[in-house]
Amino acid sequence: MCGIAGFSRSEGKSSLPSSLDVAHALWLSIESRGRDATGGAWVDRDGNFWYAKEPTLARNFTTEIDPDSPMAILHTRAATTGSPKDNRNNHPIVRSGVALTHNGVVRNHRKVMDKYQIEAEAEVDSEVFAAMIGERPGKIYDRLRL
């Protein structure tokens, strides 16, 4: 299954390693959980949202996170549904303002997407969560009951 890690930094802690160094160390520590793709989403020091992902090992992932980023979520993928060669299937899944990572398999994702008329943008099963949260806010729990 996939690897998920993240951090949230307190302001004014200049003695801490840079966010970039923390992110790279975390990616390396979860690489064994997923070797098909690596990605992450973060906020820079100005509050802007960024994300990057690619079908590569964590040790080869070269994205540069803002060294002062206050938070990030990181992912290494062990592919289930959807080829990692198609980067739309890799995590984070970004849809309608939601950046989501997931560890596991959603066996009924097509049934849920059909029921709620959600158009797939990728083949990955995790996409259903990002779509339900980002595009169908409100009574998410009621909607997930089949």
What's the token pair of residue 47?
């509050």
Among 114, 27, 126, 38, CA closest to 82: 126
Q: Are 33 and 77 in contact (CB under 8 A)?
A: no
pLDDT tens-digit profile of 45-58? Answer: 999 999 999 999 99
- Determine contact, residues 96/135, Cβ cutoff 8 Å: yes
Phi, psi angles (nearest 5°) of residue 61: -75, 125
CA distance 83 to 81: 7
Q: Checking DSSP bridges between strand 93-95 and strand 71-77, what pairing results, if any?
A: unpaired
Furthest-apart CA atoms within the chain: distance in Å: 51
Report which DSSP code applies to 94.
E
Query: What confidence tens digit (pLDDT) does each residue in 99-130 have?
Result: 999 998 999 999 999 988 889 999 999 999 99
What predicted TM-score, i.e. pTM, was given to this entire model? 0.88
Distance CA 40, CA 25 (A): 13
Query: What integer is the mean pLDDT of 73-99?
Result: 95
